[in-house]
Structure 1
Amino acid sequence: MRKVIVSAFVSVDGVMQAPGGPDEDIAGGFEFGGWTFHYWDAEMGKIMGDHLSASYDLLLGRYTYDIFAAHWPYAGDDDPIGQKFNSVTKYVATSDPDSLSWQNSVALDGDIIDAIRTLKAGNGPDLLTQGSSRLVQALIANDLVDEYRLWVMPAILGRGKRLFGNDGAPTNLTLVSSQAFSTGVCLNILRPDGAVKCGSFAHHAPSDAERERQRKMRIAEGLA
């Protein structure tokens, strides 16, 4: 059984678009490409290097695949991340499999979610996402994520491609570890932990005013 690990740089308001540079992804008129640059420090670089030197295959959406395929094969033999990304298998969600030119690239056949379920059930290294917001949202909606590695940057971007959409599978998460860095970044590693649990802070029966408020709310929401 293989794990699906979502690794992402995200702003406090959940935007993950174009963390690396101004020309990385301008879709939707995004103006903040490279927004993570000034939050990086040496300690973060070491931990990221450790993560990316482990055993895994990449699981990518087509947009991110094209960004990577235009960069990493040309990064040079002295770049360890480039060497790793070039050597691992890249599983790609694409409707144009014949155009995958980067070495060790494999198109996901047929229904993407079914193909990923088959990958997860097989043998091999874990499946690591990078970027790929649409694919990641589909993985979340279908309860296929086993671990999140979220590098939360102290920034609010307001708009852009987001990690979480509106149709994610409601899930409790367990915090495996959390580490803060000198620039205010927090790396949170989390794993799904069953259904969302709800409770109440109410200490007594609702007042007449509260019952009336709830009645009006149900009417407003079309539930009465």
Structure 2
Amino acid sequence: MRKIIVLEHVSLDGVIQAPGGPDEDNSGGFAYGGWEAPYSDEILGTLLSKQMNMPFDLLLGRKTYEIWAPYWPQHADVWPGAIKATKYVASNTMTSGEWQPSVFLCGDIAEKITQIKQQQGPDLHVWGSGDLIQTLMKRDLIDVFWLMIYPITLGSGKRLFAGGTIPAAFKVMESKVTPNGVIVVNYERAGAITIGSL
């Protein structure tokens, strides 16, 4: 079975919108695009490269696909895996795209993704795709959160844990703090929440 791994740049207050640049996604009047750039360093770059060079297919929401499709084919030398990977795109409005190989999913997205998870193949990496992530969380389809948590609050913007969040337990499989204060942590799904008293 394939795992769904959500990889996100996230602020301390949970914002995942437009970390890469000012023009990446300014919907809702978001004015802080490019907020991750001041925190880049060699350690973070090495950790990102490790993830980007693993075998994977991509599972993306339509908006992230539309942002990435014109960009990554022009930067194949930076991330060749994204060019080779099958791009599964969750969209009820988009049925084709030039960035190939791409498979467009419509209708009951969660059911179709459940079927894809059960197939043979590499793990499915989700970047960005905030709306899709809410759907995946509601259906308990996420196996791993691989998060880069930045020492910054943004106050507004699209959040990682929003309308789809369910009660769930996770265990830390790996963690590191970069010299610029980014906490890189790998949370793997660990069943139901257990409670007690102190």
Q: TM-score, normalised by structure 2?
A: 0.96
Tell me the number of residue pairs that the alignment of Structure 1 and Structure 2 aligns.
Answer: 198
How many angstroms apart in 2 are the aligned matches of 1:182 and 1:149?
18
Residue-by-residue CA offset, 1:83-108 (whole Å, 9 max, x unaligned): 22111100000123434221101101
Bigger share in helix: 1
From 60, 64, 80, give the equivalent of 2:78: 80
What one-letter code is carried by the residue in structure 2 that aligns with 1:132? S
Asked which structure has the greater CA Rg, the reply is: 1
Matches of 2:54 and 2:153, distance apart in 1: 31
Q: Deviations over 1:106-154 (max 9, x none)?
A: 1014310000000011110000001000101111111000111000000
1:93, 1:15 → 2: CA distance? Answer: 21
For 1:52-77, what per-residue CA distance to the aligned partner results, in whole angstroms no more than 9, with x for missing partners? Answer: 111000000000000000211122x5
Supply the distance in 2 between the matched residues of 1:129 and 1:96 (Cα, whole angstroms).
20
SS in 1 for 2:6: strand
Give distance in 2, aligned partners of 1:20 and 1:112: 27
Give the 3-state SS of the residue equivalent to 2:95 in structure 1.
helix
Identity of aligned residues (%): 43
What's the TM-score, normalizing by structure 1?
Answer: 0.85
Aligned to 1:106: 103
Name structure 2 gaps, 5 residues minimum: none
* Counterparts of residues 49-198 of structure 1 (less than 5 Å): 49-75=49-75, 77=76, 79-81=77-79, 83-198=80-195
State the match for 2:11 in structure 1: 11
The one-letter code matched in structure 1 to 2:78 is: P
Equivalent position of 1:22 in the other structure: 22
Distance 1:186 1:161 in 2: 20
**Distance (Å, rounded) in 2 between the aligned partners of 1:158 and 1:98:** 35
Gaps of 5+ in 1: 202-224
SS for the counterpart of 2:126 is strand
- Deviation of residue 200 (structure 1)? 2.4
